[in-house]
Chains A and B, each alone.
Chain A
Amino acid sequence: MIIPPISPRNILPLSPLPAPDIQLAATQEIGPAQATRLINGAAGYFVQMPNQSNSVVNLLLPATSLMPGTEDLLLAMLVRGSESTKRLRNQLENQGISLHAGRLNEHLCISISGPVGQETQLSNTLLALLTQPIIDPASFNTEKSNLIKNEQGMLNSPDLKFQTALKQRIYGPNHPFSLSPSDRMQIVAQQDLPSLMTRYQQMLQSMNQAKLLMITPQPITEQQRIINDAIRQHAWFRQPYSPLNIPASFPLPNPVGVSGPLLLGNNLLNRALIKSVWKAPDVCDPDYAPYQLLNLLLRGQFDGSFFQKLRTQDGLVYSVNLQEGSKLAQGNCYQLGFEVDLDKVGLALKDIQEVTQNVCQNSMSPSLLNSIKRQYLLASRLEQQQSEKIADQYSSWLTYNAPPPNLHQLHAAIERVTPADIQRVANRIFNPATGAFQTLGVSAPAPVLRQWFPGQPISPI
């Protein structure tokens, strides 16, 4: 056994272990998700995923419409608020168990993952944190104060100001997604512990809208047993609290954002920020498969259409930021973003228009489509390395009120996509006549905006 020499500073005479005499097993693929109604009324989804070292349990609770602006404060209270909670998380981390919580579209997503074989502990811990939260006024005030400071630190960020203004244009000024850091600061400052927890308890009582996802190598029946046992041990809140009827989704004014570009003057910027947003098919839409391939066509690295035009051909940008993340059950929000020198705004806008027109007017070649299908296959294989990544993907689908995808069926649908399908979906997304929301936003110093958009109204920051 020869290994690189060990530095004199290293006193440990370590060497690698001998090679194992093993035959690699054939790759085993992820099984389809199986759905059931759990004993507390929540929807349960179970997936058997072989060759994993970690199991995952995700719980999704509809929250945005019930407590807009306070989701982060609630999550902070649930997963890290009190001393006891911190100690519990500390113990979990020491066992290799990770707990994450955050906003996912209109839901709160609380996720726990840990070594295979510990599914019972994962489930019990997650439900204990949710149903018997350890809350005290002192830690509430600390979390509240920290959250306000965090929002305060972002007040002058040109990127956040631009993103907030754009969201207000897309979702409407009163939508929870449109809240600015200062809006959030004000909302959080008004919160007190009893009112926040009362709303949380009401939310837990609407369990028919909660979704639980488990992904592990364990058999499905075993997964179901573990979850139901955990629910029996950790009953949801009961009376005296009354269930609240939670709207499934905050209403979206649609279409919005078609009345000219959003121009946000900001003299702190020495480059121009450009974003363009379109409405795209969601995961339940029959056009979802061709849309996925269109997205790869546009966002790919060297051969991505926007990259080719804006960087390779015209040298206007370093990168193209394409976000395909949906924020809404009503439709994917397809967002393109990049920054350019102040004197190149016009060229960049022209290039964007050319790319979208081209993909609408011209059919792609079968060979190009084939390469994009291979990109899709690779991305899927890379994602299937870790149960946590699959759990993230499936949870997104659940927030769109869709069951987790059957990957075999999804791949078959991808294989069936034709160049004509791609062109049709491109026209659906980029052609404003369809009535979908389409918003162009530019943020730059006001004189620059006046130069490129003479006579158009400029919003102050």
Chain B
Amino acid sequence: MIGPSTASTSIFRPLPYGVSAVPELTPQSYGTAPAAFSGFQPTWHSMQPMSETFTSPAGYPITKFTLPNGHRLFIEQRPTQAIGVRTFVNAGSIMENAAHPSQLYPDTGLPSGIAHLDEHCRFLATEHFPMKNTLSNTMTALGSQYNATTSPENIHHDLFFNREDLGSALKLHAEAVLRPIYNPADVNQEKTNVLNEAARAMRPPNFKIGDKLNELLFDRTARQTLGSPQDVLRTTPEHFQQFRNAAYAPTNLVTVVSGNVNPNEVFHILAPEFGANPPRYSPLSARATRLALPPGEIRSANIIDPQFTNSQVVIGFPAPPQTSFTERMAFEFLNEILNGDSLSLLQDQLANRQQLANNISTEFVPFKQTGYFAVGLETTPGREQTTLANTLNIIQQLSQGLVSDQKIEQVRERLMHRFMAQQNNIQVITAQLGEAAICNTLPYYLNYTQLASLVTAEDLMAVSRKYLSPNRFAVVFGLPSHSPGIGGAQP
């Protein structure tokens, strides 16, 4: 990773996800807290936290504590002297005013880019480290590694450190997450850093393709998380307070620790920190990415850029949300079947046999309420339509039972092996466990192999029919500036 803080905005980059059972609220209902929250004061130490223990996919014990204010802690014990801690926030750029006006996303009063800018500010100054950069310098003095990422539907802060520094490192992590202060001079300089980040992210032409595909599918651009320059510059300390109050409510937070630690020791370090966060109602956390593409509609757009020499064809389909476990797992199978190896359908047909496309990529990203499945292909200028048509034709065959039982068994084995191989790394498992916890999809993570063992050919056909329709998709063509236009046979 380069530098602290990364806005995750590309449609071709997996995004962390959040989920909430609370339905979408209208703007009029913002700020109306349920009665249960009125007058509640946090007294974490006066109440017994709920705790439970279960097994991680790698076979290590996980202890879960729920603090009285609703903040959840998950502590996995494994024999590594490097320790990881991540705090996930069920909030993101989805809480902001849309950078590109849309009826799907009513204004919230929060300027675009604030989730990301706020995440940057958490490294600058805090209540106990009010001088700029003293917090981050203290974290670095321990030899730790830290970063944070903002996505449309969640934010996470991470810290990796040596076992010997457990107490100080965990407290510093909580300080960064919970107690930022917004000194105007510091914030103004950080705005410049964010604008630099945006300029850097948007320079490659592929960003424009992902941005447009996001807009066609969700009526929300990929650059939303980076914010419009005007909004970033006009963001005030009051905006930060408003965002912080809405986003960092205890029930919106999950902290995961993994390494050679004692769960009770970790609890006694973190509970006073996170337990002091006042409970509050957070209606904005119910906002979610919405599908903008109606049934039976095909949307397309062209991006012309002199940096392209070959043409790009990027197709986006609706896909299942995070909480539809069976459909989600079926899509993991489809992704593998279409582009998992050199014998997969798209590679075999389009690259090897037809020699129509190269650099084929696929991506399945589930959100809270919807998701997308994207296919990216590079082709010779003039063959864009043929590439699109042939790709759609291959994908359509999935809904007609193209995949054999033998193939499904092979993919099943492969997905299980791959998942288990990932469970050796505290960077990966803190991300996967934390993401599952914040999205209320823990069963999906903890029972991944069990879910994979249940997928059938009928499941694959059903999700293909439901989501991968040749009559409902978005496509963006990236064309070289010398291109005569989109060519080839129409789909």
Contacts and interface: CB of A to CB of B under 8 A. Distances in A.
Interface of A: 1-7, 9-12, 14-20, 22, 24-28, 51-54, 80, 86-87, 89-91, 93-96, 115, 142, 145-146, 149-150, 152-158, 268, 270-271, 300-303, 307, 311-312, 315-321, 339-341, 367, 371-379, 381-382, 385-386
Question: Of residues B3, B380, B425, which shows the largest number of chain A Cβ atoms within 10 Å of its Cβ?
Answer: B3
Given A149-B358, A371-B140, A378-B161, A90 B203 contact: no
Contact of B189 (A51, A315, A382): A315
A14 B309 contact: no
Contacts of A317: 196
Contacts of A11: 326
Contact of B137 (A19, A302, A373): A302
B78 interface: yes
Contact of A303 (B80, B140, B160, B454): B140
B424 A52 contact: yes
10 contacts: A7-B323, A16-B442, A52-B424, A54-B421, A87-B343, A91-B410, A375-B140, A375-B145, A382-B82, A382-B145
Given A5-B21, A5-B440, A17 B358 contact: no
Contacts of A270: 203
B131 interface: no
Interface stretch (B50-58, B103-111, B277-285, B291-299): B50-58
B386 interface: no
A25 B342 contact: no
A201 to B, nearest CB: 24
Interface of B: 2-4, 21, 50, 52-55, 59-62, 77-82, 123, 133, 136-137, 139-147, 160-162, 165, 189, 192-193, 196-197, 199-200, 203, 260, 306-310, 323-327, 340-343, 351-352, 355, 358-359, 378, 380, 410-411, 413-414, 416-418, 420-421, 424-427, 437, 440-443, 446-447, 450-451, 454, 480
A442 to B, nearest CB: 16
B140 A385 contact: no
B161 to A, nearest CB: 6
A240 to B, nearest CB: 32
A12 B326 contact: yes
A302 B410 contact: no
Given A9-B323, A24-B78, 8 more contacts: A10-B324, A20-B55, A54-B421, A86-B342, A142-B355, A152-B309, A302-B136, A376-B143
Chain B interface mostly helix, strand, loop or mixed? mixed
A371 B81 contact: no
Contact of A25 (B79, B140, B145, B162): B79
A426 to B, nearest CB: 19
A302 B133 contact: yes
Nearest to B379: A149
B155 to A, nearest CB: 18
Given A90-B343, A153-B309, A381 B142 contact: no
Given A18-B54, A303-B136, A378-B160, A149 B378 contact: yes
Contacts of B420: 53, 96
Contacts of A15: 443, 447
Contacts of A378: 82, 143-145, 160-162
A320 B3 contact: yes
A161 B4 CA distance: 28
A95 B411 CA distance: 10
A5 B325 CA distance: 13
B140 A14 contact: no
A20 B59 contact: yes
Closest 10 CB pairs of A and B: A374-B143, A96-B417, A16-B54, A319-B3, A7-B323, A381-B82, A315-B192, A19-B53, A319-B2, A302-B136
B324 A142 contact: no
Given A271-B200, A318-B197, A386 B424 contact: yes
Contacts of B60: 20, 22, 24
B341 A145 contact: no
Nearest to B58: A53
Nearest to A24: B79
B143 A27 contact: no
B437 A4 contact: yes
A9 B327 CA distance: 9
B193 A315 contact: yes
Contacts of A150: 358-359
A128 to B, nearest CB: 18
Contacts of B308: 156
B260 A318 contact: no
A6 B414 CA distance: 26
Given A12-B454, A377-B143, A3 B442 contact: yes
Contacts of B437: 4
Contacts of A157: 307
Contacts of A90: 341-343, 410
A93 B306 CA distance: 39
Question: Of residues B342, B418, B446, which shows the largest number of chain A Cβ atoms within 10 Å of its Cβ?
Answer: B342
B352 A142 contact: yes
